[in-house]
Amino acid sequence: MIQRACFGRLRILCPQAVYSLKGDTLLFFFRFLPELREICIKIFMNFIFGGYKSNVIVSKGIPSIDSITNKFDNALIIADENTAGIASKICGGNYIPHCVIKSGEENKTWRSVETILSSAVTNKLGRDCIFIAAGGGVICDISAFAASVYMRGCNLALVPTTLLAMVDASVGGKTGFDFCGIKNLAGTFYPAENIYIPVDCLSSLPQREWKSGFAEIIKTAILANDFFDQLDGISSFDYKSDALLSCIEKAVAYKGKIVTEDPRESGGRRILLNLGHTFAHALESVLGLGNISHGEAVAWGIIRACRLGVKLGITGESRAKKITGLIKKFGYESEYNCDKAALIGFMKNDKKKRDGKLAFIVPDEKSAAAVTLEKENDLKILEEILV
C-alpha cells in the first residue's frame, strides 16, 4: 500500500509503483488491484505562490476527511445545492459541520460569503480551523474569499468538482465575488494549501459544464503553445480519457508556473491568463450574470481577442483562423446579439484597466501579448470586432 507520497523526497512503499519526474509534476502509474486504483494518486504538483505553498493532488476519487484535516481539529465543509451530495461523500465528513449555499453565478455575492462566515461563527470555529470547499468555480471563489477574511485568514482546502474549477478557479489564489453587477469586482489573493482534484466527479458533469471548463483549457493551450495541437485530437468529453487527463495536467502546470512567477498579477506574465476575459466578463454582465457560463463567454472572448489582434497587427491571420476553428469545432457560440455600447461600458469598468485604458490580451505567434486601447480610433476598432 501507499504510505506517503510527497514532492521532492518521494517515499512509496510499493515495489510495483513506477513514476517519472517531469518538471514539478510527478506522474504515478500504479499496477494495482481494481480496488486500490480507486484511491491512487495520479498526479501531484507543488507550487509556491507569493510565499504560500500550494499542492495540487489529482486522484480518481474524492479525498477522505482525514487526509484533508490531518493537521486541524476543526473544519467547515462548504458546498452548494448541486454539490452537497458530493461533499457528503467525503469519508467521515458527516461529523464535520456543513454550510450549503444556493447554487449559480447569481449567488456569487456578499450574502453567500456572509452565510459562510456566519456558519463558521455559529460552529465556534477559531482561526486555526480549515474551510473545505467542494464545488465549482463559484464555490471555490467565494469560499476562498471567506477563508481569507475569517479572523484575518484561516486555513483552506479546495475540492473542485467541475472542469472549470479544476483547471482554473482553484489554482493560483484568486478569490472573489460579483458586486454591482460586475464579475469578481471584490476579491483577494489567497492560495489554498491543498487542492484535491477528483476526476471521477467529471462523470456526471453536464455537457454545458464540460464546455465551460474546456474553454479555459483552450485558453491555456494557446498561451503555453506546447499542447494546442493535442486538443485537435480530442473528439469527445470523456473523463476517462488519457488525452483529457494530460490536458488537465498541462493546464494546471502551466498556470501554476505563471502564477509562481507573478503571484499578484503585478506586471509579470500572469496577466496573460486573462486572454479573452475582458470581452468575456463584459458579455456575462450584459447578458446577466449566470445566463451564460463563464467558459462559453471566454470562448466568445477569445475569438474577439483574435479579431482585435489581427486588426492591431499582433495576431497572424492563420493563427487566428486556427484558434477560431478549434473553438467552433467544440460547438461554442461565436455570435451573441448584444448592445455594443453596453459591452464597452462594462469593459471600461473592468478591473484589469490601467490608468483608465482598456486592457486586453491578444494571441501572438508563440503565446499572447497585452495591449491597451484609449484613443478614439482604438474604440472604433473595438466596435468593429464586436459584431
Looking at the structure of the chain, the number of domains it has is 2
Of 190, 205, 220, the last residue of a domain is: 205
Q: Note whether residue 11 is domain-resident.
A: no
Stated length of the chain: 387
User: Is 291 labeled as catalytic in the residue annotation?
Assistant: no
Instruction: Report which of residues 267 and 99 the model is more confident about.
Output: 99
CATH number assigned to the domain comprising residue 136: 3.40.50.1970
**Separation between Cα atoms, residue 119 and residue 98, nearest integer Å:** 8
Q: Is 354 assigned a catalytic role?
A: no
Q: Is 152 annotated as catalytic? A: yes
Among the options 42, 98, 174, 319, which is catalytic? Answer: 174
Position 160 scores a pLDDT of: 96
Are residue 100 and residue 185 in the same domain, yes or no? yes
- 281 catalytic? Reply is yes
Strands annotated E in 30-89: 41-49, 52-59, 75-80
Which one of the listed residues 108, 183, 281, 307 is annotated catalytic?
281
Contact of 77 with 87, CB cutoff 8 Å: yes
Could you list the residue range(s) of the whole structural domain that residue 196 is in?
Answer: 45-205
**294 is an active site residue:** yes
Per-residue three-class SS string for 115-155: HHHHHHHHCCCCCCCEEEEEECHHHHHHHHHHHHHHHHCCE
C-alpha cell at 88: 457528503
Question: Annotated catalytic residue: which of 183, 270, 307, 319?
Answer: 270
pLDDT digits (tens, 9 = 90+) for 210-265: 999 999 999 999 999 889 999 988 877 887 888 888 999 999 999 999 999 999 88
Sign of the alpha-carbon torsion through 273, 275, 276, 278: positive
Angle at Cα 66 formed by Cα 60 and Cα 70, nearest 5°? 120
- pTM for this prediction: 0.85
CATH code of the domain covering residue 282: 1.20.1090.10
Question: Is residue 49 domain-shared with residue 167, that is, in the same domain?
Answer: yes
Q: What is the pLDDT of residues 45-90, one digit of tens each?
A: 999 999 899 999 998 888 888 888 888 889 999 999 999 988 888 8
Told to judge if 114 belongs to the known catalytic residues of this protein, a careful annotator would answer: no
* Residue 335 known to be catalytic: no
Catalytic option among 98, 183, 250, 277: 277
Clarify whether residues 274 and 195 are in a common domain: no
So what's the pLDDT on residue 374? Answer: 78
What is residue 209's predicted lDDT score, i.e. its pLDDT?
Answer: 92
Last residue of a domain, one of 164, 182, 205: 205
The percent of residues in the chain predicted with pLDDT above 90, rounded, is 63
- 169 with 284, same domain: the answer is no
- Whether residues 175 and 82 share a domain: the answer is yes
Do 251 and 264 contact (CB within 8 A), yes or no?
no
Which residues, at least 6 apart from 361, have a Cβ–Cβ distance to it below 8 Å? 271, 272, 274, 275, 276, 277, 278, 305, 368, 369, 370, 371
pLDDT tens column, 296-310: 999 999 999 999 999
**Beta bridge mates, 55:** 46, 194
Q: Is 35 a catalytic residue?
A: no
Options 105, 216, 249, 296, the catalytic residue:
216
Give the SS3 label for residue 31. Answer: coil
Q: Which residues pair with 158 in a beta bridge?
A: 133, 195
Looking at the structure, tell me whether residues 194 and 291 fall in a common domain: no
pLDDT in tens, 272-324: 999 999 999 999 999 998 899 999 999 999 999 999 999 999 999 999 999 99
Q: Which of the listed residues 155, 177, 205 is the one where a domain comes to its end? A: 205
